[in-house]
Chains A and B, each alone.
Chain A
Amino acid sequence: GNSVTQMEGPVTLSEEAFLTINCTYTATGYPSLFWYVQYPGEGLQLLLKATKADDKGSNKGFEATYRKETTSFHLEKGSVQVSDSAVYFCALSGETSGSRLTFGEGTQLTVNP
């Protein structure tokens, strides 16, 4: 079946530091890949997505590239802000699972001023 593995957290950074959150997946065929973000007390919201190999999703300074050869979709941001503090979830929807999402464990990011 489908699965998603995220780097262990939590992650604590200083403002303006570089961020990487690793995500690898297992799926048959060509899944679509997503990063969702959950701010404190809120539901999840889509941050970015990529639907085929070598696609780069980007939004709000965050980027992630769909790497078929390494089955990875790592999230990066060059300079984090305090307002980026949140829980980040990597997820996939498979060719046979339609729009049903399989999530990683989530990574808590805290950015200190």
Chain B
Amino acid sequence: QLHLQESGPGLVKPSETLSLTCSVSGGPFNSIFHFWGWIRQAPGKGLEWIANVYHTGKTYYNPSLESRVTISADLSKSQFSLTLRSVTVADTAVYYCASQYTSGGETAEYFEHWGQGSLVTVSS
């Protein structure tokens, strides 16, 4: 059973950069059946997919955030990371990392395993 755990600061100042890391255990990070992704949920709101990465380094981004986001993977540490630049109060949310099933690395499907979530507040 895959286990994912987010880590990173809980408070970021406006205009600065948000950085989060997700550690994966309980299964192979280089699995051909998983993308690794980030989803966020603003307080009291719905879910928004941010980005995902395949173990080959292939990345995909939500067009609404693409200009400010970078996702990367470190196979040696079984970790993947999210960087969101120039944050505003609108970026305050719980950030989840998750595994996203893929049948062969070309399309990312449903989110099977989720981390517990990391609340990031943007405030001065």
The answer to whether A and B assemble together is: no
Using a CB–CB cutoff of 8 Å, the interface residues on chain A facing chain B are none
Q: Please list the residues of chain B having a beta carbon within 8 angstroms of any beta carbon in chain A.
A: none
